[in-house]
Every structure is written in structure tokens, then in C-alpha cells.
Amino acid sequence: MSADIKFDQMLDAKGMSCPLPILKTKKAVEALTKDQVLKVETTDAGSKNDMASWAKRTGNEILKVEEGSGTFTFYIKKTA
Amino acid sequence: MANKKMTIIASKGSLDMAYPPLILATTAAAMDMDVTIFFTFYGLEMIKRGNADKLKVSPLGNPAMPMPVPIPTLVAALPGMETVATMMMKSMFKKHGVATIGQLLELAKEAGVKLIACQMTMDVMGYKQSDIIDGVEFGGAATWMDIAAESQVNLFI
């Protein structure tokens, strides 16, 4: 499934706790150009909701979220 | 569209209570909000030069603090217990990938969070402006109120 989504940059935020995954994601997305995609991996169980709120607030788009064995993978398109 | 705004009054200087203002400030900045933190009373400890990572937490008067074994209040009052509790909390934070207070403060500055130190409490506690880290402005209640009146989120911590 994940092979469907192409990404331009990858961010490993595994093992980090709130608010670091969000702060790192913000920085990584800022470094992209519009319409590029960032893949982020986290292990923070709160990050699923946090990432959705962050994307909503900043106007970026989460294309897909994958969950598996304690890891969350987000594909975020820079739309803002 | 103008950014939303948030202010936080940071009034506590223990290790545990230094976290909420800095976590919320850095997160709000990452969510495109304009953030101001007003440091007053013990909150000033966070922005004293070289002090951010020296804050302590005390088990005394804090029955909610999780301990490996139950600690009677009188034992919690013994010399060294504060150091033990502080070391315990710091190692728990590290194990869980939580940033230090110093790191969060740097991230806040980097994200453009406005830092204001309360001049009145600085005077009362005998702190000079040179005792405070770079990049901090100095003001009083009116300075905060002016920004707070135009903010959507205002917190006292």
C-alpha cells in the first residue's frame, strides 16, 4: 500500500515524545517546496491525533496514515 | 489570514512545571501561531543564564509524584531527596525521548516565540537584566495585557 505514495523527504521521529515529532515535522515540511511529500515515522501514540491537528491548523494535507507494531507512518503533502 | 495568537504566563520554576509552558509555546509556534511567554516569579528561573537545565523537582508536598516505593513525607524532607527525585525525573524524561528544558527554550527562540521577563519580580528577587539569557525583553503587566487582549489563547501556568 505504502508503495503507492511517493515521498520526497523522510523524517525519523521514532522514540521522540511530545512535542518533538510535531516540531521536527514542522521544520521538515518548511524545507519542502509546495506539493512535495514528507514521510514521517513516529512511535508516540499521541502523534496520530497531534499530526492531524497540526495539519489542519497549518493547512497541510495528510495523504495517508499507516499503523503497525507501535509505529505510525504519515505521508504529509506540503499544501500550505 | 492573520496568525492566531497565544500568550502564556509562566510562573513556576520547578523542573516539572517548566515543561507545560515551553511544550505549548513551541507547539503553537509550529502550528503557525504567534506566541508570547511572560516569565514572572519562579518562572524566571527558566530564563536565567545557564539555569534552564538545573531546575529541580521536590517530592515534598507532592503526594501525586510517582516513586518506586512509597516515601513518607518526613523522609521526603530529608537532605538529598530533592536531588534524587530530580535525577529520577530527568532519567524518565530521557528514556522517553522528551527534550530538556534548555532544548525546548532554544526551540522556542528559534521558532520566534517572544520571551518577556517580568521586571518587577526581577527587581524583587535581585536579578539584573544581564542575568537573563539573550533575546528576552523586559516589561510588566501592561506589556502582557496588551498582547493578551488580542490573543485567542491566554494561559496562566
Q: Which of A10, A15, A17, A18 is catalytic?
A: A18
Domain extent, residue B40, equals 5-55+101-156
pLDDT of residue B114: 98
Residue B95 within a domain = no
Beta-carbon pairs below 8 A across chains A and B: 36
Q: Which of A21, A54, A26 is nearest to B111 (CA)?
A: A26
Confidence label for A3 from pLDDT (cuts 50, 70 and 90):
low
Distance from CA of B114 to the nearest CA of A (A): 17
- Cis link prior to B20 (omega < 30° from 0)? no
What tens digit of pLDDT does each residue of B75-114 get? 888 999 999 999 999 999 999 999 999 999 999 999 999 9
3-class DSSP state for residue A50? Answer: helix
Q: What are phi and psi of B123, to 5 degrees?
A: -60, -45
Closest-CA residue of chain B to A57? B31
Residue B94 within a domain = no
Instruction: State pTM to two decimals.
Output: 0.92
Residue B125 within a domain = yes
What tens digit of pLDDT does each residue of A32-69 get? 999 999 999 999 999 999 999 999 999 999 999 999 99
Least confident of A70-74, B64-68, B86-90, B107-111: B64-68
Total domains in chain B come to: 1
Residue B50 within a domain = yes
Question: Is A18 a catalytic site residue?
Answer: yes
**ipTM rounded to 2 decimals:** 0.88
Residue B61 within a domain = no
Per CB-CB distance under 8 Å, the chain B contacts of A17 are 96-98
Pairing of strands A61-68, A71-77: antiparallel
Task: Report the phi/psi class of residue B112: left, alpha or beta, with left for phi > 0 and alpha for psi in -120 to 50.
Answer: left
CATH number at residue B23: 3.40.1260.10
Confidence label for B73 from pLDDT (cuts 50, 70 and 90):
confident
Q: What amino acid is encoded at B19 in this protein?
A: Y
- The chain-wide mean pLDDT, for chain B, equals 95
Q: Which domains are assigned to chain A? A: 2-77 (3.30.110.40)
Q: What is the residue-wise DSSP string for chain B? A: -PPPEEEEEE---SHHHHHHHHHHHHHHHHTT-EEEEEE-GGGGGGGBTTTGGG-----TT-TTS--SS---HHHHTSTTHHHHHHHHHHHHHHHTTPPPHHHHHHHHHHTT-EEEEEHHHHHHHT--GGGBPTTEEEE-HHHHHHHHTT-SEEEE-
Q: What are phi and psi of B104, to 5 degrees?
A: -65, -40
Does pLDDT of B131 surpass 80?
yes
Does pLDDT of B67 surpass 70?
yes
Distance from CA of A70 to the nearest CA of B (A): 14
pLDDT of residue B122: 97
For B47, the grid coordinates are 530564563
